[in-house]
Structure 1
Amino acid sequence: MNATEKFHLPVDGILKMFNSLPEHHQSRITHTAHQTLTPVLQHPKVSNITKTGMGIIKTVKGCWRQQDGRVGSSRSSSSGNRQVSTDRLPKKRSVDRLELGLTKPRNCHRIVVLGAPKVGKTNILQRFLGKEFQEQYEPTIEDFHRKLFHIRGETYQIDLLDAAAEKDFPAKRRLSILTGDIFLLVFSLDDRDSLNEACELLREIKAAKAKLLKSKHPAKVPAVICGNKSDLDAQRVVRRSEVGTILGEDLPYFETSAKNGTGLESVFRALASLGGLPDETSPSRHQIISIPTYQSLCVRQRGRRGSRTPELGAPCAAVDPLARRPSFSSDLRLVLGSSTKHNKPEKCQIQ
């Protein structure tokens, strides 16, 4: 192979990478390459040309890293129907304490909230997060929240997924159901159709869980039923006796008002009981702190592990403002992993 062949070999590969970049990156690399190649062409040594090619490759890779960083930071998180750019958020990402091994798997749960539109699911979640009731209704596309707890020296992670709007996407909703550890089914006491929809959802959850476990019988579902809007007594059309007849008597049922808070504490305690979580996870039993304060508290707690008399402190919790729903591939791995505890299916049926 002569010197000319050695010169064109690296350049051919560089051109492929160069053409795949946006125009503003190409102009930047062209300027860098021109400044670097000019003295080389005046002294055409094969070794210098090879080093020049490697230098351009490093420049291309550096631009790719910068481009990937900008793409990652511009991805938006979903909260209701509002898209929030992470460019305006702190230069940090949501921390999944289970993935980092900072919280025991038995202390991490996902609560999936399902129900018809306009029954008050979002406001119930807002109450759990320690926020106020919102009078104005905004349709929810998908809400995902993460609340972190520090109770008696233990850390807990509760993920909340409002998947109600996935009705038109059966496969997506099936996946949401399969990843749920606990379910909150909400209907409105002034809307009989919402009760019927809650009944259909319960059947769907039981069928999905039974299929995952390859059981011939409907699976027992860790769910809580919530009849919301009890404050609208004059418009009430659903009676308590009807709920047991339609949904069964084996699930805990509570009548609530997200507006004035009636009955919500009982709902939150029931959810905690199903997940084996302490009662202090109820909003009235802990103090809300910021994420930096929570992280520093956990660091101090880890530093005292060797102490005989650790300072436990009062129960507290923090809402992660950067929490985003895990990717579908992560959810699929979670589902397949949970199914192997009972069976080893060839594939995960989510449709």
Structure 2
Amino acid sequence: MNTTEKFYLPVDGILEMFNSLTGHHQSHITHPVLQSAALTPVLQHPKVSNIPKTGMGIIKTVKGRWRGVVASRSSSSGNRQVSTDRLPKRSVDLLELGLTKPRNCHRIVVLGAPRVGKTNILQRFLGKEFDEHYEPTTEDFHRKLFHIGGEAYQVDLLDASSERDFPAKRRLSILTGDIFLLVFSLDDKDSLSEASELLNEIKVAKAKILKLKNPARVPVVVCGNKSDLEGQRAVSRPEVAEIIGEDVSFFETSAKDGSGLDGLFRALATLGGLPDETGPSRHEIIPILAYQSLCIGQRGRRGSRTPRGLGAPCAAVDPLARRPSFTSDLRLVLGSSTKHNKPEKCQIQ
């Protein structure tokens, strides 16, 4: 800056910014320069040339606090906010890292009509709270890692809402799924009809890739959400049994008050051969780095005789989880199909 240039440093404005960043009021400021500035009435903004060192000190303080706030807000683990430099550099895949077995890794595909509560049910599974604010989901992919009874488990959750109008993409998501959760709303009969259509699509798609003559029997759970809206109920249990069939597990739930969710999550675990402790109420959420240390430490003790049930059940949500590419999903589908009749190509149309 040219030495003859002048600009004004609004000390009261900086104090206001500083307080908004730190969450403190002026009465809690301990820095002597800031205290004196807060207690002294400012009739006009002083010139920088009159307070060169003091002004620059305040600017550096505010900039430092701002960087800290941005770093802490950009990532979190559970309810704790952590700095980005304390997160893994990439998504954690237990199978790739050799920390678990293929039979302990599952993908749950969630399907259903819009506005039925799929996102909030997933948030509950991840250990988070119900969110009243609704935003249409484009596509959500989550990964929750468990450590139960001395073993590591990985559960991927795919909310394929954006694929409602793209049959080929939806078919690929169905073919990559190990377990399925179909959600409809108890106050919307049309959403039940859509869940029934999706159930048939899943059965046909799985039968086609396995070269079966009849629709495949698939691990699926149907969920009637919003049971808390009893006065607005439009679907009865007999209607559900008639439309969905009695051979499918059905649960009435409320993502808002949590009713029915324990049974729903337990049924999903049973279908995947997962422990009951994968239910959100049965384990503790820990930071992702603590989880990695636990798994690596457990692997280092494999040669010793460590009791199988050592340690309380715990889990971590991978903050960097991203859905694998469609190319990877196609390879996954083709690889799994070769175990059966070795089809020449993957039929996703």
1:225-252 deviation digits (Å, cap 9, x = unpaired)? 0000000000001001110100000011
TM-superposed deviation, 1:164 = 2.1
Map of 1:11-160 to 2, 5 A cutoff? 90=87, 92-160=89-157
**Paired residue for 1:286, among 283, 288, 312?**
283
3-state DSSP of counterpart to 1:166: helix
3-state DSSP of counterpart to 2:141: strand
Aligned to 1:335: 333
TM-superposed deviation, 1:266 = 0.2
Q: Counterpart amino acid of 2:133?
A: Q
Q: Distance in 2 between matches of 1:117 and 1:334?
A: 28
Verify: 1:228 aligned to 2:225, yes or no. Answer: yes
Q: Distance in 2 between matches of 1:250 and 1:103?
A: 32
Q: Residues 88 and 242 (structure 1 numbering): CA distance in 2 closer, same or farther, change over 3 Å?
A: farther
TM-superposed deviation, 1:101 = 2.2
Aligned to 2:202: 205
Q: Distance in 1 between matches of 2:287 and 2:86?
A: 15
Q: Counterpart amino acid of 1:325?
A: R
Q: Which runs of 5+ in 1 are unaligned?
A: 1-86
Q: Distance in 2 between matches of 1:277 and 1:316?
A: 14
**Paired residue for 1:313, among 311, 314, 320?**
311
TM-superposed deviation, 1:254 = 0.4
Q: Distance in 2 between matches of 1:303 and 1:118?
A: 46
Q: Residues 91 and 279 (structure 1 numbering): CA distance in 2 closer, same or farther, change over 3 Å?
A: closer
3-state DSSP of counterpart to 1:218: coil
Aligned to 1:166: 163
Q: Distance in 2 between matches of 1:295 and 1:109?
A: 19
Q: Counterpart amino acid of 2:310?
A: L
Q: Distance in 2 between matches of 1:301 and 1:235?
A: 51
1:23-70 deviation digits (Å, cap 9, x = unpaired)? xxxxxxxxxxxxxxxxxxxxxxxxxxxxxxxxxxxxxxxxxxxxxxxx
Q: Would you say the 8 A contact 2:150–2:298 is kept in 1?
A: yes
TM-superposed deviation, 1:88 = 9.5
Q: Would you say the 8 A contact 2:277–2:313 is kept in 1?
A: yes
**Paired residue for 1:176, among 167, 173, 176?**
173
TM-superposed deviation, 1:90 = 4.5
Verify: 1:297 aligned to 2:294, yes or no. Answer: yes
Q: Distance in 2 between matches of 1:164 and 1:140?
A: 6
Q: Counterpart amino acid of 2:97?
A: L
3-state DSSP of counterpart to 1:343: coil
Q: Distance in 1 between matches of 2:193 and 2:168?
A: 21
3-state DSSP of counterpart to 2:262: helix
3-state DSSP of counterpart to 1:272: helix
Q: Which runs of 5+ in 2 are unaligned?
A: 1-83
TM-superposed deviation, 1:103 = 1.1
1:196-235 deviation digits (Å, cap 9, x = unpaired)? 0000000110110011011110000100000000000000
Q: Would you say the 8 A contact 2:87–2:289 is kept in 1?
A: no
3-state DSSP of counterpart to 2:320: coil
Aligned to 1:77: none
Q: Distance in 2 between matches of 1:245 and 1:225?
A: 13
TM-superposed deviation, 1:145 = 0.1
1:59-109 deviation digits (Å, cap 9, x = unpaired)? xxxxxxxxxxxxxxxxxxxxxxxxxxxx99956000211122221000000
Instruction: Give the percent of matched residue pairs that are identical in Structure 1 and Structure 2.
Output: 80
Aligned to 1:237: 234
Residue range with higher mean Cα deviation, 258-267 or 305-314? 305-314
1:104-144 deviation digits (Å, cap 9, x = unpaired)? 00000000000000000000000000000000100000000
3-state DSSP of counterpart to 2:108: strand
Q: Counterpart amino acid of 1:190?
A: D
- Runs of 4+ deviating beyond 4 Å: 87-91
Count of matched residue pairs? 265
Verify: 1:271 aligned to 2:268, yes or no. Answer: yes
Aligned to 1:347: 345
Q: Counterpart amino acid of 2:328?
A: S
Map of 1:254-269 to 2, 5 A cutoff? 254-269=251-266
Give the CA RMSD over aligned residues: 1.4
1:181-204 deviation digits (Å, cap 9, x = unpaired)? 000000000000000000000011
Q: Distance in 1 between matches of 2:184 and 2:258?
A: 16
Aligned to 1:322: 320
Aligned to 2:245: 248
Aligned to 2:8: none
